[in-house]
Amino acid sequence: MTVTTGHADLPNAFPFVFVRGDLPAAGLQGVEIMRGGTVLRKIMRSPHAPKLEILAPTRHTKTSCHGTVSVRWRGTDADGGLLRAKVDYSGDGGRSFTPIFIGGNTGHARLPGSYFTPSGKARIRIRLNDGFNETARLSKRFHAAGCPPTVTILSPRQPLKIRADATLYLSGQAFQDGLRRLTGKRLRWYAGRRFIGNGEALSATGLPPGRTRLRLVAKDHRGRLGSAATIVRVTRVAPLFVKLRGPSKLSKRTHRLKLVVESSIPATLQVGRAKFNVRRRTRTLKIRIKPGGKPLVLHLRLKAYGKTTKHTLRIPRR
């Protein structure tokens, strides 16, 4: 026997403790639940099984991903007991089923179209249970159109304002119809038109200043696309040298030196007449210089979005 907690999907929902036991069905007439020597609950098998008739969907039903799908039934119990209803969905004509609803015997349930995977031979199974006896019925085959992925961006929440040199945490999730989760390369993040990464979560750097539209695009196994978007405002900042390293000494005959550079944001580095694109990733630059005996003086200008950072590098010669 197992014990779990839950709630009933009724108009006035309430919490309950759900006790489930696996018992031999043959000849079983009643169950007593005891704690110590005290009987907490005694349930006897009623003489009649529930009666059930499926009213919808019918063979003419065509589901859509817009709105909901109406499931209706008529269920009665000659013994007047409380009935519990379960609705299962099959996209393969009834060979296999997935639970999509559990609740009271209200006679109807409106379920999201995304619960119904695409199928030309879709069926539902409804089960009514009085605690001992269960009656199940299958619907006629109907057509389920399915839905593109449902996508949600969890972070960031708009409106959000960040600096251009900040790292932004992105997270989201997507489900294809049938409530199956999409992960990995099936999720693609974009900043405007620029692709920035895959997956449910990632960290983004180097976003351009201004109003940036972030999108999470999901692609399901049938090639259908779903997306969600949010807006962030990125403020301009002056680029900074995160890393700047050159040789400690140079030979008088050296014609070229290596400069290791990393910038806080995507920027253009100007060294004399030469220009290089740098960003938040270490890059090794090869710079032509004139041989000579005097110390080498390099004037560096790091430019991004109208702001400039200057730096002078002095390297002795030997």
Residues 209, 250 within the same domain? no
Best CA proximity match to 146, nearest among 72, 226, 215, 217 = 226
Residues 159, 139 within the same domain? no
Residues 162, 219 within the same domain? yes
What confidence score (pLDDT) does residue 25 get? 64
The residue among 115, 144, 173 that closes a domain is: 144
Residues 34, 72 within the same domain? no
What confidence score (pLDDT) does residue 14 get? 64
Local structure of residue 295 (DSSP, 8 states): P
Residues 33, 66 within the same domain? no
The CATH number of the domain holding residue 173 is 2.60.40.10
The residue among 235, 257, 291 that closes a domain is: 235
Rounded Cα distance between 52 and 40, Å, is 31
Residue by residue, pLDDT tens for the chain (318 residues) are 788 776 666 566 667 777 777 777 667 888 888 888 898 888 888 888 899 999 999 999 999 887 899 999 999 999 888 899 999 999 999 999 999 999 999 999 999 888 898 999 999 999 999 888 899 999 999 999 988 999 999 999 877 899 999 999 999 999 988 778 999 999 999 999 999 999 999 999 889 899 999 999 999 988 999 999 999 999 999 999 999 999 999 999 999 999 999 999 999 999 988 999 999 999 999 999 999 889 999 999 999 999 999 999 999 998
What confidence score (pLDDT) does residue 224 get? 92
Domain extent for 66: 51-144
What confidence score (pLDDT) does residue 146 get? 87
Residues 165, 203 within the same domain? yes
Count of domains for the chain? 4
Residues 154, 201 within the same domain? yes
**C-alpha triplet 260, 264, 268: angle, nearest 5°:** 70
The residue among 144, 165, 192 that closes a domain is: 144
Best CA proximity match to 89, nearest among 79, 81, 99 = 99
Rounded Cα distance between 149 and 167, Å, is 28
The CATH number of the domain holding residue 281 is 2.60.40
Tokens standing for 123?
């069926």
